[in-house]
Amino acid sequence: MHTVSFLDVVALVLIQDEKVLVAQRSENDRLAFKWEFPGGKIEANESPEAALRREIQEELGLDIEVTAHFMTTEYNRSPVPIRLHTYLALLKRGEPESKVHHQIQWVPIQNLEELDFAPADLPIVQEVLKYQKINQCT
């Protein structure tokens, strides 16, 4: 029996004023110009929350406070399957700057489905839309 070995990565759902921060992969990247929720690889001996804070600081120049686990999904892409741990966070300090992405944008949540997201991020899009509807009703 073969067990799948996943690469653990983290992603950020940062919502402000009915908008969510998303990033477009650079032209040199695998899945060039696809949109994603920013994040990256979890290093050895690093918690997912610490990895997310580090990645967001490195990639976007932002200081965040991770507030809650949002969802975890698995995506069997080749060559390495990933397990994507997604978290909600608050922006503590900074203005987003694109250090590694083609561009970053605050996108109205209702417009998320108009963007061409990387396949691993598509389940997050659907959950963010559901999350927004639930929070509008309360």
pLDDT value at residue 4? 66
Q: pTM of the prediction?
A: 0.91
Other Cβ atoms within 10 Å of 75 Cβ, number: 17
The verdict on residue 2 lying in a domain is: no
The verdict on residue 96 lying in a domain is: yes
CATH code of the domain containing 130: 3.90.79.10
The verdict on residue 22 lying in a domain is: yes
d(CA 61, CA 56): 7
- Nearest Cα neighbor of 13 from 121, 137, 138 is 121
Residue 127: both structure tokens together: 């959950």
The verdict on residue 1 lying in a domain is: no
The verdict on residue 119 lying in a domain is: yes
Other Cβ atoms within 10 Å of 26 Cβ, number: 13
Residue 134: both structure tokens together: 């639930």
Q: What is the DSSP string of 29-76?
A: STTTT-EE-SEEEPPTT--HHHHHHHHHHHHH--EEEEEEEEEEEEE-
pLDDT digits (tens, 9 = 90+) for 45-55: 999 999 999 99
The verdict on residue 69 lying in a domain is: yes
Residue 122: give the domain boundaries: 7-137
Domains: count for the chain: 1
pLDDT digits (tens, 9 = 90+) for 86-138: 999 999 999 999 888 999 999 999 999 999 999 999 999 999 999 887 776 65
Residues 6 or more apart in contact with residue 113 via CB below 8 angstroms: 125, 129
